A and B are shown apart, each in its own frame.
Chain A
């Protein structure tokens, strides 16, 4: 009996990971932008079984290994997007202001063409996030862009820490407040988060108490009722889940810093953070990180006070900062987005490239695996024909775990994996709706605002 209760209470998310395909390759004679250890010219990178095995000049190709001639090309670590919604079949469980129990890892869609498009932009990993409809949204999943597999599990970056989406401000208040459910105001958002944490703390203490009592011989008692939402929130309090919080305004950012401090939560990344420049020293002092847009704002009231210098100001204040896409379009050219920080803020090449490589890796807790070109790291590599911060840069090859997943010279027109055998070909060539569909944060919540069925959906 004891054992079974232990099983229930000590539940950990387990996953039968699919076999990850790994490749070996020698990348010859490129300009290697390591990000963490400077630039190396005319240098080779040897990849064995998905890992970077050796970096140096004139490396001999082991027999039978594929060779990529990178003469005149730029070799950089695969780009990492800390905020994305591609490869997902569901974004928002918008029915409740707290949905910590839901998990994007359950709804991965490995057939999403956006994965391949991201690869074509040198992007090898993304943070598949829950949307921003709820104050406490669902758990997210860090993905590797292993496009070509039929198995959803194969995209999961094995061993990546658990993360969860929070959201402040207009989105959760609009989604829920409009239906007469707390939160209707920013005060309400803080209340919802504090209440959830308090309940989770109580839940955790009850279980701790119960498990402790059980050790006493002859103990008889009733266990607390199992609750997956509380289990998840308790895991945040235990420090096992990194919070990624959708936020814009300085006051709400500061609010969440205080809430997390009160509950002893240390791992916190703010997303969007358009007013991050106002609280950059506070963020740095708290060890909180920031993932921002390069120059995207004014799509709603709370995002008017913005500046393209945001990323640079955050970096100069010592905040670990990344630039994200939140979009199936921007994810294809995050290197352009990073380059904007040189125009607005004069960041160095390494600082600018860190925004889309090692820094997002740190925010996702995967910096020991990816984000730079170092021996021992995963061979997630993007190869460009020019310096990636140049406006002329075009990705040529993208490798994930040493497997070439994008090769510009062999880029078939139809890269779909599972075309629908019942597909109506009359409709197949129509362009996808592609208006203002950036910021997929509010995807799947349309029904809450409008009864339109044939009108254009406004995803923001």
Chain B
């Protein structure tokens, strides 16, 4: 054994010990101290408020001092954040980060779908998302690594699935995560398959009816409370009771409001019933900014943006006037969607952001696109920090770097909105997360999905064809799917590999309505086994095998 081999082994052994110790320290031992000092750091306390190369002290989960020439308390862990940039931790106004999706269970067919029990009708406003929180959910870490420290999260389900909570993106248990429970009543204007309310029409009608019934029940309860003699006992109704704080204007209703018509329907309900509203994941409000402003609803704009049209589109080689006209309009619509935040800024409507439908990794690029489309950097930062804190009523604790506020921080090596900036530290409620250099842990252990695959779907109509996937070796996947009956080639979207699991989606024109089909499959050697989720029509098993290379 020569010297270098020995030293290598020694190093490996030391590394192992160090790793084991670190793991132990992280899981079993409490931190030695909860006092931290970030030194020589650019402190962006709030949009437009900056301390150049100062010191930031955090103690027991709270910010205690900010500025220049601050004494470092004895025993503090000193983080030399030389020339880095620290911001208040970001706040996500609406998502399902950390929320466990309930398993789909086969439920018995209702004899009378017109009169379903409330839980089958999607009417469970009394439910609380706290019972569905999973601190180990990997979505928490994904979002936190981008600088998000707080999120308003909602339960899965349609119509009135339950109450939202504002959670910290840290903590070991559901209770530790919760910053504020019962933060909002959550609603989606979507119905149930085959069960009343099925259409948006019935959802709207049922919304009005439930609300008015709740007003009636609440009034009767207070009448009864003042003098019970001679009055029938009020009925207990957990569904209606969930509306009481909304009726008192103490609790807002958070609605998913992606599409412009969905948003208008929410505003119609607000106008009819007069309750406080949060519009979540707004994507198409740009034509109606004055209307939104006049409504007084609080707005969380979606961080999801339509993809930009790629310049090197392969179909470009054949000039086609119709196609070019369509592309031009599509580009206009993409530009409008991208400039939505700038429109809200121009109209002086405060807004936050929501991550409900965006792929986490795309968020920084999307914010940069919004900035390029006219949103000021200060307004972008406000939408991530001060504005959502204000809109959610958390300004006393969150949104800026000021003594007395919670120690929720994000530290990046360059200004956050710089394309090359990387998040180095995130602090949530005083707990420090150090981010590894991402390049170091390049995805490995991933299977190779490249090549041509022949697939078969077990649906009532059957279906088979080809899937062609190209892997550029840098982790970027592209592909197409061709149905053997129609011979129509469709581009695959959102191609991703996670371990052995390949996921992608594509659009399918059914009648006049294109629907999105989502595919998830496990790759084992040259075979693929998975399923296709076809809109509301169900889930169909899919198998594919890789064609041998010529």
Question: Could you tell me which A residues sit within 8 Å of B by CB distance?
Answer: 1, 4-5, 8, 11, 14, 16, 89-90, 92-99, 101-104, 106-107, 109, 111, 130, 138, 150-153, 179-181, 220-223, 225-229, 413-414, 416, 418-430, 432-433, 444, 447-448, 451-455, 457
Contact = CB atoms under 8 A, between A and B. Distances in A.
Nearest to A444: B199
Contacts of B227: 220
Interface in B87-130: 111-115
Nearest to B270: A16
B216 A5 contact: yes
B216 A8 contact: yes
Contact of A421 (B213, B216, B333): B333
Contacts of A447: 193-194
Contacts of A16: 268, 271
A428 B325 CA distance: 12
Interface stretch (B40-48, B425-433, B434-442, B508-516): B508-516
A425 B323 contact: yes
Interface centre among A150, A225, A416 (most CB of B within 10 A): A150
A220 B224 CA distance: 10
The list of the 10 closest CB pairs from A to B, nearest first, reads A96-B114, A421-B306, A90-B199, A421-B333, A228-B209, A102-B201, A95-B196, A106-B204, A150-B287, A101-B205
A424 B491 contact: yes
B537 interface: yes
Contacts of A422: 306-307
Given A150-B260, A222-B220, A416-B329, A106 B231 contact: no
B461 interface: yes
Contacts of B176: none
A226 B210 CA distance: 9
B326 interface: yes
Contacts of B30: none
B197 A93 contact: yes
B112 to A, nearest CB: 6
Nearest to A418: B260
B111 A106 contact: no
Interface in B194-226: 194-202, 204-206, 208-209, 212-213, 215-216, 219-220, 222-223
A19 to B, nearest CB: 10
B200 A151 contact: no
B330 A107 contact: no
Interface of B: 111-115, 193-202, 204-206, 208-209, 212-213, 215-216, 219-220, 222-223, 227, 230-232, 260-261, 264-265, 268, 271-272, 284, 287-288, 291, 306-307, 322-323, 325-327, 329-330, 333-334, 336-337, 459-461, 463, 488-491, 507, 509-512, 514, 534, 537-538
Given A413-B322, A427-B507, 16 more contacts: A8-B212, A89-B261, A93-B197, A101-B205, A106-B201, A106-B205, A106-B268, A111-B261, A138-B201, A413-B325, A418-B260, A423-B326, A426-B489, A453-B460, A453-B534, A455-B461
A226 B216 contact: yes
Given A1-B219, A226-B216, A104 B201 contact: yes
B201 A93 contact: yes
Given A96-B113, A152-B264, A454-B459, A414 B326 contact: yes
A297 B287 CA distance: 43
A4 B219 contact: yes
B116 to A, nearest CB: 8
B271 A97 contact: no
B505 to A, nearest CB: 11
Interface centre among B213, B264, B287 (most CB of A within 10 A): B264
B334 A421 contact: yes
B205 A103 contact: yes
Contact of A95 (B113, B329, B509): B113
A87 to B, nearest CB: 11
Contacts of B337: 421
28 contacts: A8-B215, A89-B261, A90-B200, A90-B201, A94-B198, A95-B113, A95-B198, A99-B114, A99-B202, A102-B202, A102-B205, A103-B205, A106-B204, A107-B265, A130-B201, A152-B261, A153-B268, A180-B111, A220-B230, A226-B209, A226-B213, A229-B209, A419-B333, A421-B334, A425-B323, A426-B489, A433-B511, A453-B461
Contacts of B327: 425
Contacts of A181: 112, 114
Nearest to B512: A432
Contacts of A444: 199
Nearest to B193: A447
A98 B112 CA distance: 12
Given A90-B201, A425-B330, A228 B212 contact: yes
Given A99-B202, A421-B306, A426 B195 contact: no
Contacts of B511: 432-433, 457
Contacts of B287: 150, 418
B463 A153 contact: no
A151 B459 contact: no
Contact of B459 (A4, A93, A111, A453): A453
A390 to B, nearest CB: 32
Given A422-B306, A447-B194, A1 B223 contact: yes
Interface centre among A8, A93, A220, A429 (most CB of B within 10 A): A93
Contacts of B199: 90, 92-93, 102, 107, 444
